[in-house]
Amino acid sequence: MKRVLLVDDHPLFRQALAATVQRINKDITVEQYGSLASVRVALEEHPAPDLILLDLNLADCSGMVGLPALKGAFPDIPIAIVSANDDPEMINNAIICGAAGYISKAVAVTELSAAIECLLEGEEWFEQDVAPGGLETLTPTQMRILDAVQRGLMYKQIAFEVGICEATVKYHLANIFKRLGVKSRAQLLALSCRT
């Protein structure tokens, strides 16, 4: 069972996000905290969680202050920022401060699902506008999905093999298409055969 700590000072949003995360994956336990101080106490008294989802603006700290404070005290715990502020400079600051990911509060459930799954697998999640690149720009999960596509597997088979839901496979494939500058599975196969 994976354990995720959700830190947000807005109870309605916190409860809705917790319910959504648990609906995405029934094997996730979500603990909710309304302040940086309360989550610090929990981290000192209980085993380390698999992931912390941290809002930038809390009652007892605002901006990027909470992230380095938690990373300094608990450096091995992955922390992803969940924020309504999608400013690229803020995202870069989060990366510099050691965030494992940055999730917009405006994302759809499919993107949230993909983000949570990636973060729990130990990958980073900073999906912004995806710039075209080569195979070296793909994440390990995207490489596994590409390999499965090359072997002719369908979405459901890929999802089972990789251990993610079908919607997350489709989300990753859409990002693979963008990264590699292709528009279909056929173009993807043709490109990957050439490299």
3-state secondary structure the chain: CEEEEEECCCHHHHHHHHHHHHHHCCCEEEEEECCHHHHHHHHHHCCCCCEEEECCCECCECHHHHHHHHHHHCCCCCEEEEECCCCHHHHHHHHHCCCCEEEECCCCHHHHHHHHHHHHCCCCECCCCCCCCCHHHCCHHHHHHHHHHHCCCCHHHHHHHHCCCHHHHHHHHHHHHHHHCCCCHHHHHHHHHHC
Identify the segments of the chain with pLDDT beneath 50. none
Specify the CATH number for the domain of residue 22. Answer: 3.40.50.2300
Residue 90 lies in a domain: yes
Domain encompassing residue 86? 2-120
Where among 92, 120, 148 does a domain terminate? 120
Asked whether residue 87 falls in the same domain as residue 8, the answer is yes
The closest alpha carbon to 114, from 175, 159, 173, 171, belongs to 171
- Alpha-carbon span 34 to 189, nearest angstrom: 47
Tell me, yes or no, whether 127 lies in a domain.
no
- Do residues 35 and 105 both lie within one domain? yes
pLDDT at 57: 87
Report the predicted TM-score, pTM, of the whole model to 2 decimal places: 0.73
pLDDT for position 70: 94
Q: Tell whether 126 is covered by a domain.
A: no
If asked whether residues 159 and 66 sit together in one domain, one would say: no
Same domain membership, residue 145 and residue 99:
no
* Helices 166-180, 155-162: inter-axial angle, 10-degree rounding: 100
186 and 105 both lie in a single domain: no
In a domain, 104, yes or no: yes
pLDDT digits (tens, 9 = 90+) for 62-99: 778 899 999 999 999 999 999 988 887 888 888 888 89
Residues 149 and 63 grouped into a single domain: no
Q: What percent of the chain has pLDDT over 90?
A: 46
Structurally, how many domains does the chain consist of? 2
Whether 128 is in a domain gets the answer no
Triad 58, 18, 28: Cα angle to 5° = 125
In a shared domain, residues 57 and 106: yes
Question: Is residue 114 domain-shared with residue 140, that is, in the same domain?
Answer: no
Let me know: does 64 contact 94? Beta carbons within 8 Å.
yes
Residue 49 is assigned to a structural domain of this protein: yes
